[in-house]
Amino acid sequence: MQSINLLEKFSKIEQYWNPKIIGELNGQYVKLAKVQGEFVWYDHEAEDELFMVFKGTLYIDFQEETVAVKEGETLIVPRGVAHRPRTNGEEVYVLLFEPKATQHTGKVQHEKTVNRLDWI
């Protein structure tokens, strides 16, 4: 049994919008990602998605509003809800909890879609 140093794990991430797995529990992966700029519109048909911001502010656009998730805050996006994460140009560190079967961008295939997640 060993603790996980999140800042050390974040230092190993070199690409934006490319989540890395750092653990698993109860059929879910714990993932870290560095994000910057704008992502794609997508949803997860069968899974909720949890965003926890460690550094910076993450903006999540929905059809009728935008929610700012600040450092130390969490937002859970319910299954089936279309959303687009983005930043205002700053680098943001995000922790994600998702079921292991969750596809990166749901059914949307885009140049930013990651089909195979790596462990760090």
Domain boundaries of the chain, sorted by first residue:
6-102
Query: Burial letters for 65-104: b for 16+ Cβ neighbours within 10 Å, e otherwise?
Result: eeeebeeeeebebeeeeebebbbeeeebbbbbbbeeebbb
Return the CATH number of the domain spanning residue range 6-102. 2.60.120.10
- pLDDT at residue 114 is higher than 80: no
Torsion angles phi and psi, residue 6, rounded to 5: -65, -40
Six-digit token string for 23: 């653990």
pLDDT in tens, 3-47: 999 999 999 999 999 999 999 999 889 999 999 999 889 887 888
Look at residue 112 and tell me whether its pLDDT is greater than 80.
no
The model's confidence at residue 98, banded by pLDDT at 50, 70 and 90, is confident
pLDDT at 22: 97
pLDDT band at residue 92 under the 50/70/90 scheme: very high
* Residue 108 confidence (pLDDT): 52
Q: How confident is the model at residue 105 (pLDDT cuts 50, 70, 90)?
A: low
- pTM value? 0.85
